[in-house]
Structure 1
Amino acid sequence: MAPIATLRIGATRIALRGLDLPLIADISVERRSQPLGEDVNAVPLSRYLDRENLFTILFSDLALAYIDGALFRDEALAGGGASLLAHLRADASLAQTTSEKGVFAVGQIEFAQGCVFRSVVDTIADGDDVLLCDDLGDEWADFIGVSTQSNPTMISFYHAKHGNQSLSASAFHESVGQAIKNLGRMSLPADMLPNKLMGWDNRYRNNGVQTDIARMIRGGTPQEISEKLDVVRAAPDVLQRVFIVTSSLSRAQVEGVLAAVVQGTAPSPHFVQLYWLLMSYFSACVEMGVRGYVVCRP
C-alpha cells in the first residue's frame, strides 16, 4: 500500500504534511459567517486537520499514541487493559437490539421493544427516579437521569447508539464527540433549565410522527421534576456520570483481544485506535470531575 501522507517530527509537535487523498483534495474549511464558497480565507481540509491537531498517530509500541497534538504513554493496554475494562459495563438487552430508536406511530406511548432507547429506559437507567428524554433539538444527551434517593445523589447523561458489532473506532467517534461536548452541561445550568423544562413537557416527535411518548418518563409532574433537579444540582457531593450506550461493542470480545495481547498477540490497528479513543473520552470526563462509562452488549 502506497503512503498517503508524511509526518514531520518537531521539538514540540508532530506535523501532518503532504496528505494525499483525492477524496478531500478539493474540500476546504470556511467560516460559517460567510456565504458558501466566498470565504477568501478558506483553508484546505488537509491543512486544517494539521493546524487543529485533528489526527491520531499510533506506534509499534502499544504504550504510545499521539492524540490532539500531545504524546501519551499508557502501559495498560499491553498489560491487559484493566483501566479500559473498569469503564465497560455489559447489559444483556443490548445484544437483542435491532435499532437505535425503533419505529414510531401516532398514539404510541413507549419506545419500541428491541431498540437501544428502550434498553436505556427499562434497564440501564432503571436506578434513576427522574428520567427525561432530551433527544433532538438542543440535545444535551438522549436521556438525562437523576437519582435523588441515592447517596450521593447522581446526575447521568446517556448517549445511545446502535450498530453492527465491531471493534472499530469509527462507530464511536460521533458518540464520544457528543459526550465530551456536553460535559459542561452536566451541572444542569440554572439559566438553561426553564427552556429545557418546557421542551420536556412536550410529547416525543420523530420523523414527522407525533407520538404520545412522554419526554418526562419518570419523576412526577413538571413542577416536581423541576424541584428535584434544583435539589440535586445544588448538592455539594452530587456524582455526575456519562454513559455511551451502544449495541456495537461486546465486552467479551474486548476481553478476548486484551487477553491475547497479554499472551503476545498484537491487536489490530483498528482496536488500538478504539482503545485510545475511549481512553481519551474517559480522561476528558475525569478532567471535568465526571465519571465516564460505556455500556455495551455482554
Structure 2
Amino acid sequence: MRAEDGVTPIARLRIGATRIGLRKLDVPQIAGISVEKRSQPLGEDANAVSLSRYLDRENLFTILFSDLALAYIDGALFRDEALAGGGTALLARLQADPSLVHTTSEKGDFAVGQVEFAQDCVFRSVVDTIADGDDVLLCDDLGDEWADFIGVSTHSSPTMISFYHAKHGNQSLSASAFHESVGQAIKNLGRMGLPADMLPHKLAGWANRYRNNGVQTDIARMIRGGTPQQISEKLDAVRVAPDALRRVFIVTSSLSRAQVEGVLADVVQGTAPSPHFVQLYWLLMSYFSACVEMGAQGYVVCRP
C-alpha cells in the first residue's frame, strides 16, 4: 500500500487463504498510539496493543482494488458490479433536500429562552422538512442517544419508526465525513425496536427541555406527538406492530447528490473515480447492507 503521493509505501499486507492481514502500517500520525481497556488506569493495561495491531485484529480497515467491483471490508471480500454500472443502488438511497444547501452548522447557537433550533442548521432541516411526515418527533441528542431525532409515523400504512443522524460539513466526496455517522447509525440499529425496558427512562429525558453547551433552552425534546402520555402510547403501538417499517437516515450537508451523479456518469464513460470516492461508495453500501440485515432501510439525505 502506498500513500496518496503514490510513491511512499505506508503498509504491508499479508494475504492468507481466508483473510487479508495488515502486517505493517507505517503512518507517523499513529506511531506510539496504543489501545487499552477503559477499565484499567491509563498506561497500566498489560495487554495494551498498538493501534495498527488493533486495526488488524478487529478487521477495521478497507482495501480497494483497481477492479472497482471488488473491496475488502471488515474482514470479508465483497464483489459489486453496480459502481462500474452507474451506481443505481447508491443513487436510489440518496434523497436530496434543498434546505441543506443553506445550512451553516449542525445545531446552531443556543440562548436562554430559545424555543426552536436556529435557522440554517441541519437540526432545523430535520424538524421542518425532512421529518415533517412523522406525527411523533423526539430530539434524542446528547447523553445515551439512539439518534439525534426519533420519528414515528402512526398515520401511515404500515406505521414507521425513523432514526435521524444529523451532520454538517463542507461539501466533499470523501468518506471521512461519514465514518462517525455510519458508525453511530449501525451501532443503534438494535434499538430501532424501541426496547420496552428502556422507554420509561428515555421518556423521562424527553420530557425535559433541550440543554446544550451549558445553555438551558426552552426547546422541547418532545417536538411533536401530543402529551407525554399520548407519545408513550403511540410508541408502544408502533413498537408492537408486526409490519412496522424501520428507516435510518443520515442527514448531511456535506454531500451533493448531483455531484455523486456526475462522478457515476463519468465512471460509465470509462473515467476512473478517485480512491476517496470509491471508499465513500463502499462505506455507504456497507451501511445500507447493515441496515437490511437488521430489518431496516438505510438512506442518506443530502443537498441536491
User: Would you say same fold, with TM above 0.5?
Assistant: yes
Bigger mean CA deviation after superposition, 266-275 or 23-32: 23-32
Q: Equivalent residue for 1:86?
A: 92
Q: Is 1:18 matched with 2:33?
A: no
Mapped pair 1:54 → 2:60: yes
Task: Give TM-score scaled by structure 2 length.
Answer: 0.98
1:24 CA displacement? 1.5
> Is 1:74 the equivalent of 2:76?
no
For the pair 1:257 / 2:263, whether they are aligned, the reply is: yes
Matched, 1:27 2:33: yes
Aligned-pair CA distance for 1:202: 0.2
**Number of the residue aligned with 1:231:** 237
Select which of 69, 94, 108 maps to 2:114.
Answer: 108
- Give me the whole-angstrom Cα distance separating, in 2, the residues matched to 1:40 and 1:253: 48
Counterpart position of 1:181: 187
Equivalent runs, 1:202-281 vs 2, <5 Å? 202-281=208-287
Unaligned runs of 5+ in 1: none
Q: How many residue pairs end up in the alignment?
A: 298
Letter in 1 for 2:303: R
- Distance in 2, matches of 1:5 and 1:239, equals 43
Which 4+ runs in 1 deviate beyond 4 A? none
Quote the offset at 1:199 in angstroms. 0.2
Look up the match of 2:173: 167
SS at match of 1:230: helix
- Determine the C-alpha separation between the residues in 2 that align with 1:105 and 1:33: 37
TM-score by length of 1: 0.99
How far apart, in 1, do the equivalents of 2:119 and 2:53 lie?
46
Q: Among residues 140, 145, 152, which one is paired with 2:146 in the alignment?
A: 140
**After the TM superposition, which of the residue ranges 237-246 and 17-26 deviates more from structure 2?**
17-26
CA RMSD of aligned residues (A): 0.5
In the TM superposition, residue 22 of structure 1 has moved relative to its aligned partner by: 2.0
Read off the aligned partner of 1:117 and give its amino acid letter: F
Instruction: Decide which of 76, 97, 101 is 2:103's aligned counterpart.
Output: 97
Task: Structure 2: give runs of 5+ residues left out of the alignment.
Answer: 1-6
> Secondary structure of the equivalent of 1:18?
strand
Pair 1:292-2:298 in alignment:
yes
Q: Does 1:126 align with 2:135?
A: no
Distance in 2, Cα, partners of 1:31 & 1:113 = 42
- 1:189-208, aligned counterparts within 5 Å? 189-208=195-214
Aligned-residue offset at 1:25: 1.8
**Which residue number in structure 2 is paired with residue 41 of structure 1?**
47
Q: In the alignment, which residue of structure 2 is the partner of 1:283?
A: 289
Instruction: After TM superposition, give the deviation of residue 175 of structure 1 in Å.
Output: 0.2
Residue 64 of structure 1 corresponds to 70
Q: Distance in 2 between matches of 1:206 and 1:18?
A: 42
